[in-house]
Structure 1
């Protein structure tokens, strides 16, 4: 069963349930209000009869002219004694007279139904000298009310059937209009599945602000993002293959050279071994960077621990100061001795190593690291006074495998994955990273991280 048919049926069933309860309430109120009106009329008539002082004037029952003026068609008047016998009785409906007399010491109303319709009895005690001496019973046949109620039931049933038919027809056409965009969505998705190409769902120019248009816009944005990710993935694979091919080709060439000629030539053997070791190290670094880049694509802040940033920065700078034999200076705002924050300290250390290593590669002067806090945001600046990066290259420095001609080359700049890894680390910690640079002046990497990564 299609979703459109299910919705049509459920809407129709829901409408029928609503109509059933509504019409039941209407019918109940119609009977209640009508019978209450009749009961009030009979009570008023009983009060008028009691004013005639019936116990002291039994002649009223013998002279019908006295009582017939209050008797209407399909009605009965009874005067019942305490022994439940009918002392006096007049009626215009023989069916009412067939009902047994019931004596009661209090006023009652009884509503009955038989083959002729609805029967109503109103009983009122008759007093003489403060003592009940009889019971006045007035009965009325509400045949016309029964006819009206049957007519009302017929109208309600016909109305329900008509509403059901209209609901089915209207629901079918409405769901057809409602599901038309969904059919387009399904057709587009099937086309994408069959062709393997990314396509947008065609949306009307005058877009209505409803859920279907939101779904279409979201789908198109998702397709754009998938297409961009697919393009980047293809570019990543192509760049990774190219980067891996170069060291592997060099290693293969020197290995072949060793096999053929290096056994009798010490200088050639030394050169080949040095090249193989160098390219193997480059290949290992590239593999590690690729693994790091893959790991950074996981969920944000996997290791959300509290650590002190100031000692972490100082220890990292001290390690690189020893390995590079260069001057690296760390400065903090107001000479802070500690700066607690949450996140992954291992990845923050990796981020610092990447930024400081870049500053050391492209500068021969001192490298400055400055730390400050603004509105619960930690700002880390890594500044060098090196060769800088051209303005046209700045928008691409965080792309994978990107190396500018002036600022990077393979031997000096590595595989071009460092800043891409740094950007992913910062994004995982819900921060931002920016690179400012001018040719011949130097570069400044600005990292902004929240003190609490959530």
Structure 2
């Protein structure tokens, strides 16, 4: 059974049960109130008759009093404890209820007021004990037809049934409409997922911005999930495409030198060292490239991030020292100002980002590298400057694209150093994750400066939350 049908059936059945309970409650309350009112009225009339009869001192007056107080559709009689024979009991019936005279007389020591049935008809019966003029205890009993009340209750039952039917029809229809409204976004999600599975394209739900209920929130969450899946799929697709494109060259070189060693390695010792060196160089480049590709293929929310308030100068000094000892390059650090250099960032990712900028400066410059660290009103900054050949202004916006190289000279030099055109792209990704901003300033023939701006406090610009 579909969820829409379950919702429709459950709401309809539940409303029907509630409506039945409500109607039964109304009916029985009305029945009880009207029956009590009718019996109270008969009781009051019978009490008046008993007071009048108690003052009478002969049977003729008693019969006349009974005739005066007899109900229009009923009977009134006097029953004493010693004389219960229906032929000797004084009684008077209305012309429409003569059949009541055939009923046996019963003496009741206590007052009675109840509904009885005689020959399938409903009557109100009242019995009031009193002490007659002769000192004996007797009952004044009145029996009155309640068929009009029963007819009224029958009409009430019909009205309640008609009202219930009239209410249930629109309720069933409205519950079906409500089930459709509730299931519409779910059906849309199902249809969208089927379309995504069939076409391979990521499609988002069309949201109605006027409503802000839970269904809209669920749709927005679904669209967010589709967006994340699309980004993840795109990153995987880029990884496969980039890896297959960029790994083809080093694998070809390794295969060529391996084949050369296999054919002539034993006869030409000079080729042995050249081939081993080339194979080792390409293997190292492949390792670096693979690590970078894997990191770029990972969604931001899967990056391990620990944002803290740190002092920049010790971190930059330590990074420069490690880089200087590794590559034997001259790097000069210039702290700017005398204010504390503070930033809110992830220590490990910032260190990796600095390594990328320093390594990029190392590859394209043989001269001294300078690093400036300072702070301003809204952020702290780190500037890494090289004295290389520079980048043309028209190509500056493109250098953050994956595998992009400015020109053949720079490309050849980068390849010799193990570069693959992924460094600045990875730097851009890291800066977005830690909430920093990175930009390049360059002049051809003079060099390039990479400027990294870091937030002083936690902002919602970070790619991840703590």
Q: TM-score range by the shorter chain?
A: 0.7 to 0.9
- C-alpha contact 1:117 1:146 (8 A) present in aligned 2: no
> 1:367, CA displacement in angstroms?
0.8
Q: Distance in 2 between matches of 1:109 and 1:395?
A: 102
CA deviation map 1:162-191 (0-9, x unaligned): 655665567668767886776666555444
Deviation of the 1:224 alpha carbon: 6.0
* Mapping 1:383-422, distance limit 5 Å: 383-386=383-386, 399-405=401-407, 409=411, 410-411=414-415, 414-422=419-427
Once the two structures are overlaid, the 10-residue window that deviates more, 171-180 or 57-66, is 171-180
Asked whether 1:279 is paired with 2:282, we answer yes
Secondary structure of 1:385's match?
A: strand
Contact 1:60 1:67 in 2 (8 A): no
Q: Would the aligned equivalents of 1:181 and 1:212 in 2 still touch at CA under 8 Å?
A: yes
CA 33–391 in structure 1, closer or farther in 2 if over 3 Å, else same: farther
For 1:403 and 1:127, locate their aligned partners in 2 and report how far apart those are by CA, in whole Å: 126
Alignment TM-score, normalising by the size of structure 2: 0.71
Q: Give the 3 Å change call, closer, same or farther, for CA 139–421 of structure 1 in structure 2.
A: farther
Contact kept in structure 2, 1:78 and 1:136, CA below 8 Å:
yes
The reply on whether 1:103 has 2:105 as its aligned counterpart is: no
- Distance change >3 Å, CA 36–CA 400, structure 1 → 2: farther
3-state secondary structure, aligned to 1:73? coil
SS of the aligned residue for 1:415 comes to coil
> 1 CA distance for matches of 2:130 and 2:337?
107
Larger mean Cα displacement after TM superposition, 33-42 or 391-400: 391-400
- With over 3 angstroms needed to count, the CA separation of the structure-2 counterparts of 1:331 and 1:399, relative to structure 1, is same
Q: Is the 8 A contact 2:53 2:65 kept in 1?
A: no
Please give the per-residue CA displacement for 1:123-179, whole angstroms capped at 9, x wherever unaligned. Answer: 566589xx9966655443322222332343344445545655665567668767886
Superposed displacement of residue 27, structure 1: 1.3
Larger displacement relative to structure 2 (223-232 or 5-14): 223-232
Tell me the residue number matched to 2:54.
55
Secondary structure, aligned partner of 2:454: strand
Q: Residue 436 of structure 2 corresponds to which residue in structure 1?
A: 433
Aligned pairs (5 A) from 1:48-447: 48-49=48-49, 52=51, 54-59=53-58, 62-77=61-76, 89-92=91-94, 93=97, 94-95=99-100, 97-98=103-104, 100-104=106-110, 109-112=113-116, 116-122=120-126, 137-157=141-161, 160=164, 186=190, 189-198=193-202, 209=211, 226-227=229-230, 229-261=232-264, 263=266, 268-293=271-296, 297=300, 299=302, 301=304, 312-323=315-326, 324-329=329-334, 334-335=339-340, 346-358=348-360, 361=363, 364-370=368-374, 381-386=381-386, 399-405=401-407, 409=411, 410-411=414-415, 414-422=419-427, 425=430, 431-440=434-443, 442-447=449-454
CA distance in 1, matches of 2:410, 2:143: 111
> Once the 2 structures are TM-superposed, how far is the Cα of residue 242 of structure 1 from its aligned partner?
1.6
1:369 is paired with a residue of what secondary structure? strand
Q: CA-to-partner distance for each residue in 1:292-313, whole Å, 9 max, x for gaps?
A: 44566564647x5979655555
Contact 2:84/2:106, CA 8 A, preserved across alignment? no
CA distance 1:317–1:214, change in 2 (3 Å)? same
Mapped partners of 1:225, 1:385: distance in 2: 36
Change (3 A) 1:138 1:284: same
Q: Match of 2:369, SS?
A: coil
**TM-aligned CA deviation for residue 444 of structure 1:** 0.8
How many residues align? The count is 437
1:223-257 Cα offsets, whole Å, 9 max, x none, are 56645554443333211212211222222223333
- Closer/same/farther in 2, CA of residues 382 and 408 from structure 1, 3 Å limit: farther
Change beyond 3 A, Cα 1:98–1:373 = farther
Contact kept? 1:116, 1:143, Cα under 8 Å = no
Partner deviation per Cα, 1:417-445 (whole Å, 9 max, x = no partner):
345545555666xx423212222362212
TM-score (norm 1): 0.72
**SS at 1:252 equivalent:** helix
CA distance, structure 1, for counterparts of residue 436 and residue 76 of structure 2: 101
Which segment is superposed worse, 91-100 or 38-47?
91-100
Structure 2, unaligned stretches of length 5 or more?
none
1:315/1:182 Cα in 2 relative to 1: closer, same or farther (>3 Å)? closer
Distance in 2 between the 1:44 and 1:402 partners? 108
Tell me the CA shift for residue 280 of structure 1: 1.8
Name the counterpart of 2:458: 450
CA distance in 2, matches of 1:89, 1:392: 124
Identify which range, 6-15 or 238-247, moves more after superposition.
Answer: 6-15
Q: Is residue 239–residue 294 contact of structure 2 (8 Å, CA) maintained in 1?
A: no
Separation of aligned partners in 2, 1:17 and 1:81: 51
Say if 1:56 and 1:19 are closer, same or farther in 2 by CA, change over 3 A. same
